[in-house]
Amino acid sequence: MENLPKYTLEFDDNKDKWVLEHDKTGKVVKSFTTKEQATAGGALEKALGSDGGSVKIQKQNGRIQEERTYPRSRDPRKSKG
């Protein structure tokens, strides 16, 4: 299994926006006004660019809602659970 860059989409209370942040560097890749804007129409995939990656999408309370892999072809085939 290849190592994908990991990102988190989370709500930033200080900025009152949803931010896509690189987990390792802490750098904000892109910010969105609403969570729906971030998750609809391939916006996350465009923000990640050609390298793609794994994105943990959080709820506003900070709990993980789901995890997505971009592009989907790089999604690991075997996983526990």
pLDDT in tens, 28-76: 999 999 999 999 988 999 999 888 899 999 999 999 999 998 887 777 6
Q: Which helix (H) or strand (E) holds 47?
A: helix 43-48
Q: Where are the domains of the chain?
A: 9-62
Q: Are strands 6-12 and 53-58 parallel, antiparallel or unpaired?
A: parallel
What's the predicted TM-score (pTM) here? 0.85
- Residue 1 confidence (pLDDT) above 50: no
* Tokens found for residue 57: 């999408």
The pLDDT value given to residue 23: 96
The pLDDT value given to residue 29: 95
- Residue 8 confidence (pLDDT) above 70: yes
